[in-house]
Structure 1
Amino acid sequence: MIDDLPGADWCSEDAYTELLQCDRRFFAWEWLRRSRRYRRGWLRREHLPRAAARQMGLMGWIDPAIAAPRARPIWSVAIDPAVLDGWPAEPSRFRPLAQDMVDLLSVAPLVSVEVSAEAEHWLLSDGHWAIRLDLHEGTLLGGPLLIEHRMSGLRSLRPRLTALRQLASLAERGALAASLMPREQRAAQWIVELRVADAMLAGASHQEMARRLFRNAIAPQGWRVESAAYRSRIQRLVRRARARLADPLGGPWFAEQRS
C-alpha cells in the first residue's frame, strides 16, 4: 500500500543529496508527500472535490511518488506568503515597454500552471527554487503581458519583494542570479529528519537508524549504555519525524518566510 512506503531509500545518502540545493518549500513537499492523509487523498482524488487539494496547501494534486527536485508543487496563497498577486495593467495608467512585459513562454521549461475560477496560479521553478504568481483576470497563456503587482502591509512585504526581485532577474537573464538563490542553512538537519521518517516507514529499529546515520560512533555492543547520547538523539529525531508526518506543513517551511 502507498500508505506504508517511505519517500526514499533511507539507507542511501545519495537519495537525499539534491535537497541540499532546494529551498524550504520543497522540504514542505517532501513531508506532505510522506503523510498518510495526503497519500490517501491522492488515491481518492477522482472522487474528491477540487478543493480537497487546497485543504492540504496545494492548488492541485501531485503524485506523492514524485520527489524534489522533479516535483512542482504549486502552493496555495493561504499558506505561502511569497505568492505574488498580479492584475493586467490598465493601458491608460502605464506606457508599456517591451522589457516590462512578462512573457512566460520565454522560460517555458520552468513553467507550471493551475487554472481556477479566481485566477491563473503560475509556478516558475527548476525544482530547486520557486517563484509563485497568481494572475487575477486576464491570461498569460496568450503571450507577453504587462502586469500590475499589488502588495500591502509592511512586515509581510518581505517575502513577496524577494519573489518580485527573483521574477525580475528571471525575466532579464533567463535564470536567477546566484544571490537570489540562498542555500537553506538547516537543509542538512532537515534531511536527517526525513531519513529518520523514511526509516520509520520502512520499519527500521532505533539501533538500525543509529548505526546507519552515525556509523562508527555507535558502540559495537551494548549501544543503549555505551552510546546513550546517540540513542537519545535518535529518540528526539523520531519524535520530530512523527510530528512532521502528522503535521507536514507545520514546520518552518512557510512561517519563517514571514519573519
Structure 2
Amino acid sequence: MVDPHHAAHWYPTAAYLYVLWLDALALAWEYLRRHPDYRLDWRRRARRPDAGQRWGLRLLEDPAMDARDAHPAWLPGHDAVVQLYPDADPPVDAELFAFWRIPGHKQLLHDGRGLTLIARSPGHWQRFVLAPGLEDGMAVAYAYRGRGVTHAPDTPAPMARPRPPPAVLLELHTLHALDATLAGASLREVGEGLFGADAVADWYSDGGLRSKVRRLVRRGDALMRGGYRRLAQLPPLEKGRFEGDAKRP
C-alpha cells in the first residue's frame, strides 16, 4: 500500500495528463525543473544571477511552475524555433505577419535579448523569435535553423491527436515515476501509482513489471541529470560538471 503522506502530489495520474501535449522544449523544462541542484540555484539566484548558463538557460525560471505556465529562456539553437524577419524583397503573394491569426493560446516574452512568441494548442506548439521592426501586417520571411529563409511557413502539425503515441505516454510515465522516486517511494509503490494495485499484486513474481518500473525510474533520473539537454538540443555537459558545482558553498 502506498504511504499517503508522501504520495499526495505524485500519485494521481490525471495530474500528468498535460504532459501528453508538450513539445520537446517543454519536456526538457519538466525534467530540468525537478533537478535538486537547479532548485537550489533558483533559491540562491540573488547570489548567482548567471547560474542559468550551466543549465542551458539565459535566465533561471521558477521550478515550481510546470511547462504550462513557465517561460524558460533557453539558449538559442533549437530547430523548432522559427525566426521571423520583415521581408525586404517580398514576392507579390508574400505571406503577411498576422499575429491574431496564429492559432492557439499566445504568449509574448522578452528574455533580455529579444521578443519570443509561443502559440499553444492541443498537440501543437509553435515557437517564434520576432526580429526588431516586425509589425502586424508586414510581409514576413521565415528562417529555419539549418535550412535558410523561406517566404512561407512549414505546414502546421495537426491541431489534435485522437490517441497519444507510445513515445508520449513514455514521457508521462517517466515523469510520474521520477516524481514518485524523488518523494521517496519504493519501486513497488511507483509501480502501484503508475499501473494500479492489481498490477502489482504479484510484484515479486512479475519480473517484467519490476524491470519496466526500474527502467522508467532510471530514465527519469538520467533525463533530469543532464539528459534533458538532448531534448533542448543543447551540447552535453562535460563529465563531472554537476558534481563540481554541487560542492560549491
Work out the CA distance in 1 between the residues paired with 2:178 and 2:53: 24
| SS of the residue 1:125 aligns to | strand
Query: 2:171 aligned to 190, 201, 204, which one?
Result: 190
Q: Quote the offset at 1:134 in angstroms.
A: 2.1
Is 1:232 the counterpart of 2:211? The answer is yes
Q: 1:33 to 1:115 in 2, by over 3 A?
A: closer
Work out the CA distance in 2 between the residues paired with 1:13 and 1:179: 21
What TM-score does the superposition give when structure 2 sets the normalisation length?
A: 0.71
Cα deviation digits, residues 85-109 of structure 1 (max 9, x gap): 233222xx23687x83324366695
| Bigger mean CA offset, 206-215 vs 30-39 | 206-215
1:86 is aligned to 84
| SS of the residue 1:122 aligns to | strand
2:224 is aligned to 245
Work out the CA distance in 2 between the residues paired with 1:251 and 1:95: 38
Q: Give aligned pairs, total.
A: 225
1:114 is aligned to 110
| SS of the residue 1:208 aligns to | helix
Work out the CA distance in 2 between the residues paired with 1:45 and 1:181: 42
Q: Check whether the contact 1:57–1:76 (CA below 8 A) recurs between aligned residues.
A: yes
What TM-score does the superposition give when structure 1 sets the normalisation length?
A: 0.69
Q: Quote the offset at 1:52 in angstroms.
A: 3.8
1:148 is aligned to 141
Q: 1:248 to 1:151 in 2, by over 3 A?
A: closer
| Bigger mean CA offset, 27-36 vs 58-67 | 58-67
Work out the CA distance in 2 between the residues paired with 1:114 and 1:81: 19
Q: 1:128 to 1:73 in 2, by over 3 A?
A: farther
Q: 1:232 to 1:100 in 2, by over 3 A?
A: closer
Which has more strand, going by share of residues? 2
Work out the CA distance in 2 between the residues paired with 1:209 and 1:235: 9
Work out the CA distance in 2 between the residues paired with 1:58 and 1:183: 29
Q: Check whether the contact 2:31–2:224 (CA below 8 A) recurs between aligned residues.
A: yes
Work out the CA distance in 2 between the residues paired with 1:14 and 1:71: 20
Identity %: 26
Q: 1:185 to 1:228 in 2, by over 3 A?
A: closer
Q: Quote the offset at 1:110 in angstroms.
A: 0.7
Q: Check whether the contact 1:104–1:111 (CA below 8 A) recurs between aligned residues.
A: no
| SS of the residue 2:128 aligns to | strand
Q: Check whether the contact 1:21–1:128 (CA below 8 A) recurs between aligned residues.
A: yes
Which structure 1 residue ranges, 5 or more long, are not aligned?
1-5, 170-175
1:101 is aligned to 96
Cα deviation digits, residues 41-91 of structure 1 (max 9, x gap): 322333334x5435423444332111233334454323x21112233222x
2:242 is aligned to none
RMSD between aligned residues: 3.7
Which has more helix, going by share of residues? 1
Which structure 2 residue ranges, 5 or more long, are not aligned?
1-5, 235-249
- Amino acid paired to 2:183: A
Q: Quote the offset at 1:207 in angstroms.
A: 1.9
Query: 1:205 aligned to 154, 171, 186, which one?
Result: 186
| SS of the residue 2:154 aligns to | helix
